[in-house]
Amino acid sequence: MDQDIVMRARVKLLSANRRVVRGVEGLWIYRTLTKVDPEAYGSKLAFVLVEATASPRVRNMPEQRMALLDEAVAVATALSPANPYRDRMLETALAVRRAELEGRSVS
């Protein structure tokens, strides 16, 4: 992984001054940092991925929403069972994914 990209992601995260960075910027930050430290950033990536499925950008794109949910499930599943956020994020991602498959919205 390019260390300049990792450093840029860390700087953006620190300068955001929020507990969780959301939206496109959050996706980029957490995707980048999860590659470096999955246990520290994976649960936040899963959270932001699930949240992104409600975005107006993908509202009429079921394949993209499902891809985001599949990624969220994969990220949450990859977390250590000892991670305190793993079960909650996995349950949330699976519930939203199940609702998406059934054609209803969960907010």
Domain boundaries, the chain: 3-102
* Cα-based distances in Å from 35 to 32, 75, 98, 102, 103: 6, 10, 27, 32, 32
Query: What is the pLDDT at residue 24?
Result: 93
For residues 96 and 94, give the distance between their C-alpha atoms in angstroms, rounded to a whole number.
Answer: 6
Query: Tell me: the pLDDT tens digits for 30-83?
Result: 999 999 999 999 999 999 999 999 999 998 899 999 999 999 999 999 999 999
Query: What is the pLDDT at residue 59?
Result: 85
| Residue 103 pLDDT grade (very low, low, confident, very high; cuts 50, 70, 90) | confident
Please say if the pLDDT value at position 98 is more than 90. Answer: yes
Is this prediction's pTM over 0.85? yes
Q: Are 96 and 67 within 8 A, CB to CB?
A: no
8 CB-near residues (< 8 Å, 6+ apart): none
Please say if the pLDDT value at position 106 is more than 70. Answer: no
For residues 13 and 36, give the distance between their C-alpha atoms in angstroms, rounded to a whole number.
Answer: 14
For residues 35 and 104, give the distance between their C-alpha atoms in angstroms, rounded to a whole number.
Answer: 32
Query: What is the pLDDT at residue 18?
Result: 86
